[in-house]
Amino acid sequence: MAESTPTQDLVTVVIDGKEHKLPKGTNLLEACRSVGADVPYFCYHKGLSSPAVCRQCLVDVKGSPKPVPSCYTSVADKMEVTTNSPKILDVRRQMLEFTLLNHPIDCPICDKAGECSLQKHYFDWDSKLARNEGIKVRKAKVVDVGKHIVLDQERCILCTRCIRVCDEVAKAPELTMADRGSHQILTTAPGHRLDNPYSLNTVDVCPVGALTAKDFRFSRRVWELSASPSVCPGCATGCNIEVHVARGEIHRLVPRENPDVNKFWMCDEGRFEYKAVHNNRLLLAQIGGKRAPLDRAVAEAARVLREALAADAKADRKKVGVVFSAGATNEDTHALARLALDGLKFERAYAAGRAFGWSDTILVSADKNPNTVGVQRIVPPPVRTERDLLSDVASGAVDTLLVLSNERLEVEFGKLRALVVLASHRGPLVDAASVALPIATWAESDGTFTNRDGRVQRIHAALGTRGDVMPAWRALALLGSKLSINLAYASAAEVFSDAAARHDFMKDVVFGPPAVPVELRFGGSRG
């Protein structure tokens, strides 16, 4: 917010005795924080409107008889603001004391403990022991408010962030406040449940543990998690996410701020994309449905493909096909295109992926694949569709297939002569494969996805691989080495730069260094 362009009107604001030039109309809370004045808040959220209900961000503005809520004030010329006077610190402390008055002693059993704003602000700003000796107001504790969410009314500090997320982001006003004073509660609107497709964002914005996700509830303490930046593989929108991992297992996906794509949000569906990563994985290579050493499987795959190509050449026909995946990264797609199209001169290229589904105008795309645009731009036409593939197999126009990560693909396997599969999960495709090589999922891969707007976004491996699992580009490079096709890539970055040199849409994209997972216990309170 502090950055400004010359065209903007700048105003001079004094914050804690120092003069700052800030764009006119900047939110005062953002202005304070941008110049290093740590003003705490509960109800304010960058992506939502400001109701100024928590009174935590009160600051002194010269000329104003009372402290003003900075989240509800815009900077004006010659404004003099104090954020750390004894009076303001006292106000902050007193507001926290109110907030804590009826708060249950739940930290040991609360999922939010460790990333709770209330804990953080109390420790930073209050740190006085309780003065009230009365009995706390009791409210309902485990309220099933929606498909994915449990509400604890006692923990709620009435900041209304969740109500605003429903109103302003999901456009589904399902939550509301009821009753008054210390008996005020958060509840669902009469006749409604918290069931909108963006309901889990309310859990993210909840500064305390009032709204918790049923999925994550009691699965891990947050300070055991480490976060890796990635991109949601659930649809073509490509919401930026953080993958939260503890001991080699993903526990939740949360949105990561990207003003150009998803702002602060993601849909509920996307959050469950991680479930598939751990289940039903193909960990070792297979030949004809039986486990085989990796090098033998690769050699066998090469032999199968070579034979099919030789048979094609002999009979002067084109019955070998390659199936690309709209779920694979740009790097894997590029490596497959280099191997099958440039190297082995396959003439039949198909692209398959998950079926289209519902969509809305907020975030969700109908295209449920993360890299449809990437495949379209990398694989040279003509690219046939999945429907073409089914009919071509049925008619016998194609009888040998090299398939990349399309586990759910079901063709008439009986009509194929040979089927080489690179797959991360077991399924009918792997069962039918002549050779199956285990590859990494999005959660174990470094690479990029191209979203529906053509934006190339980086994903980082959040997990290590097990068994013989490797990134698809590496498996393809191995296969290439057995087929005298040189794909000597040492890293995803090298595949990327090779792809970027050949495809204009990736030309100006920077692959970037690997992201070191942030251990949340060292990351401080996320709040």
Partner 1 sequence: MAAEITSEPGSKRRVVFGEADVSDFDESAEVPVESMPLRMGPSHPAMHGTIRMALEVDGEKIRTCDIEIGYLHRCFEKEAEAATWTQIFPYTDRLNYVSPMLNNVGYALAVEKLLDIDQKIPERAQYIRVIVGEVSRIADHLTCLGASAMELGAFTVFFYLIKAREWLWELLEEISGARLTHSYVRIGGVVGDIPEGWAAKLLSTLGKVREAIGDADKLLTRNKIFRDRMDGVGIIAKNDAAGWGLTGPVARSTGLDYDVRKDHPYLVYDRFDFDVPVGSTGDNFDRYAVRLEEIRQSMRILEQALARIPDGQILIDDVRVALPAKRETYNSIEAMIAHFKMIMDGLHVPPGEIYSFTEGGNGELGFYIVSDGTGRPWKCRVRPPCFANLAILNKVLPGLFIADVVPTFGMINMIGGECDR
Catalog residues that contact partner 1 under the rule CB under 8 A: 100, 103-105, 107-108, 113-114, 118-120, 122-124, 126-130, 223, 521-522, 524-525
d(CA 441, CA 471): 8
Query: CB of residue 129 vs partner 1: minimum separation in angstroms?
Result: 5
Query: CB of residue 521 vs partner 1: minimum separation in angstroms?
Result: 7
Query: CB of residue 225 vs partner 1: minimum separation in angstroms?
Result: 13
Query: CB of residue 19 vs partner 1: minimum separation in angstroms?
Result: 25
In the complex with partner 1, the residue whose CB is nearer, 19 or 519, is 519
Half-sphere exposure at residue 134, Cβ-oriented, CA atoms within 13 angstroms: 8
Q: Using CA atoms of 326, 332, 333, 335 in order, give the dihedral in degrees to the nearest 10.
A: -170
d(CA 479, CA 258): 38
Query: CB of residue 123 vs partner 1: minimum separation in angstroms?
Result: 4
Query: CB of residue 208 vs partner 1: minimum separation in angstroms?
Result: 11
Contacts of 302 (CB under 8 A, 6+ apart): 479, 482, 483
Closest by CA to 85, choosing from 100, 67, 108, 72, is 67
Residue 373 backbone phi and psi in degrees, to 5: -65, -40
d(CA 512, CA 499): 15
Query: CB of residue 122 vs partner 1: minimum separation in angstroms?
Result: 5
In the complex with partner 1, the residue whose CB is nearer, 94 or 525, is 525
d(CA 456, CA 366): 19
Query: CB of residue 214 vs partner 1: minimum separation in angstroms?
Result: 24
In the complex with partner 1, the residue whose CB is nearer, 1 or 113, is 113
Closest by CA to 153, choosing from 132, 131, 121, 178, is 178
d(CA 176, CA 178): 7
Strand partners, 519: 226
Q: CB–CB of 369/413 below 8 Å?
A: no
d(CA 167, CA 48): 10
Contacts of 481 (CB under 8 A, 6+ apart): 487
In the complex with partner 1, the residue whose CB is nearer, 92 or 384, is 92
Closest by CA to 162, choosing from 213, 214, 111, 108, is 213
In the complex with partner 1, the residue whose CB is nearer, 224 or 347, is 224
Tokens of 102: 């009826």
Closest by CA to 437, choosing from 275, 247, 296, 297, is 297
In the complex with partner 1, the residue whose CB is nearer, 123 or 358, is 123
Closest by CA to 439, choosing from 329, 526, 302, is 329
Task: Supply the DSSP symbol for 70.
Answer: G
In the complex with partner 1, the residue whose CB is nearer, 104 or 514, is 104
In the complex with partner 1, the residue whose CB is nearer, 106 or 386, is 106
Tokens of 336: 């497959």
Closest by CA to 68, choosing from 76, 56, 77, is 56
In the complex with partner 1, the residue whose CB is nearer, 218 or 522, is 522
In the complex with partner 1, the residue whose CB is nearer, 223 or 413, is 223
